[in-house]
Structure 1
Amino acid sequence: MGNKEQTRQKILLAVGELLAKDGFKKFGVNTLARQAGVDKVLIYRYFGGLPGLLRSFGESADFWPTLDEIANGNLQEFRNKPLGEAVGELLVNFARALRKRPLTREIMAWEMLEPNELTTILAETREEWAQRLFATFSTRLTETDLDLTAITALLGAAINYLVIRSRNTQIFNLLEINSAAGWQRLEESLLQLCRNCFAEPAVS
């Protein structure tokens, strides 16, 4: 059992390395088997083929943050916070999680350039992740007339873009997006936006 799990992890690691380096056009079972140093039969045995492998990779914590990670290990605590505070902190933690995953940033950049059936699998996996996140706040959505889904889509897209752009761009809109100081400003602004956007109505 131990050897099987080690082999699975070797294959998943090879997926990230190949996609970050060459994108999706050269991605295939034979290339992947060579990169991982395993017989390609094992890719089918353990994952059922490339679609199953991509789903497993997309769900792995090495590629994409878990809900526990962006909730600092306590999703229940976030459910009890004021809505603006909870959404803001989750988005800030999401941005931090992406920034510390350089392979993920490279793969996300390739996805924009080479959309195909493989990129669709990764995108669907992330959408399922987002649905699970929203499900944890389903009882809170009645607290505001604002469209939480649309607003967080806009903010999430901005985070994704800036994270990807920071790979090879130093300045964006006069802000240093590849420095800790620049991201601190972005995080503080993101928190303030969410607090203001989802502010609870004043009690008269």
Structure 2
Amino acid sequence: MAKKSNSLADPPVRNREATRGQLIKAVGEILAEKGFGALGVNAVARQANVDKVLIYRYFNDLEGLTKAFAQEGDFWPSIEELAGGDIAAYQFLPLEEKLINLGRNFIRGIRARPLTQEIMAWEMVERNKLTEELEKARELQMLRFFEQFLSKENDNIDLVAIMSIIGGGLSFLICRSRHIQWYNGIDLRSDEGWARIEGGIEQVVRKLLQ
């Protein structure tokens, strides 16, 4: 009997983790290129070049795959990345230095993730269970960061509100930079422009905490 040829319906044997990684990566590629409306089991399988049955085998369903993308797909900067790479050293920084470094590391982490920028922009116009999973992953990450590094700081300062204002502003500017170069005379597509914004965060934080 002739050996069956490999195809999407009959894929070659692959390492489980490698295949999971292909599927997770495919989710991000589709979200960035076409938005949430284009995300489906068949579309992800085609993008990853694997049989769609593997989505059910490894993730149970599309929602499970999206959850894995949010948690495993390098979608959001890790706690270590937000802390500048040295959690032990960050733990002992003065409060103002913690906030300044957090702002700086957040900018650099999101700017280094064009895929995340595209997804953040799509989330503003498409709302569904999949966007909720990505939001949940972000929220949990930032809440863990707060609990680990900032929860025992000055009770007279609403650090969550401050972080929300700064983070929201930065998210807006980063997403805007995808298609619009200038904002109030600052070049959002240049390292020099973002260095100015980092400097602005430092000035605001230092004045606030004086």
TM-score by length of structure 1 reads: 0.92
**After the TM superposition, which parts of structure 1 deviate over 3 Å for at least 4 consecutive aligned residues?**
none
1:119 matched to 2:131? yes
Local SS of the residue matching 2:93: coil
1:163 alignment partner, SS class: helix
Whether the aligned pair in 2 keeps the contact of 1:84 and 1:196 (CA below 8 Å) is: no
CA separation of 1:198/1:59 partners in 2, compared to 1, >3 Å: closer, same or farther? farther
Aligned to 1:202: none
Opposite residue 67 of structure 1, the aligned amino acid is I
5+ residue gaps, structure 2: 1-13
Q: Which residue of 2 aligns with 1:169?
A: 180
Q: Counterpart of 1:40?
A: 52
Cα offsets for 1:37-79 (capped at 9, x unmatched): 1111111221121222112111235321111112122122112
The answer to whether the 8 Å contact 1:70/1:97 transfers is yes
Counterparts of 2:180 and 2:100 in 1: how far apart (Å)? 25
* Pairing partner for 2:93 from 75, 81, 87: 81
Q: How does 1:11-160 map to 2 (within 5 A)?
A: 11-60=23-72, 62-141=74-153, 143-160=154-171
Q: Distance in 2 between matches of 1:113 and 1:197?
A: 34
Letter in 2 for 1:172: Y
1:10 partner letter: Q
With CA pairs under 8 Å and 6+ residues apart, which has the higher RCO, 1 or 2? 1
Tell me, in whole angstroms, the C-alpha distance in 1 between the residues paired with 2:31 and 2:176. 18
SS at match of 1:113: coil
C-alpha distance in 2, partners of 1:128/1:148? 16
Contact 2:84 2:101 in 1 (8 A): no
Provide the rounded CA distance (Å) in 1 between the counterparts of 2:161 and 2:151: 17
**Is the partner of 2:164 in helix, strand or coil?**
helix
Percent identity between matched residues is 44
* Alignment correspondent of 2:4: none
Q: Which amino acid is 2:78 matched to?
A: T
User: Unmatched 5+ residue regions in structure 1?
Assistant: 200-204
Identify if the C-alpha distance between structure 1 residues 103 and 35 changes in structure 2 by more than 3 Å, giving closer, same or farther.
Answer: same
172 and 139 in structure 1: CA distance in 2 versus 1, 3 angstrom threshold: closer
Shift in Å at residue 139 of structure 1? 4.8
| CA RMSD of superposed structures (Å) | 1.6
* Cα deviation 1:93-134 (Å, max 9, x = unaligned): 011010011111111111111111110111011111111101
Aligned residue for 2:22? 10
CA distance in 2: counterparts of 1:34 and 1:107, whole angstroms: 20
Q: Is the 8 A contact 1:105 1:163 kept in 2?
A: yes
Match of 1:188 in 2: 199
Which structure would you say has the larger Rg? 2
For 1:122 and 1:92, how far apart are their aligned partners in 2?
A: 22
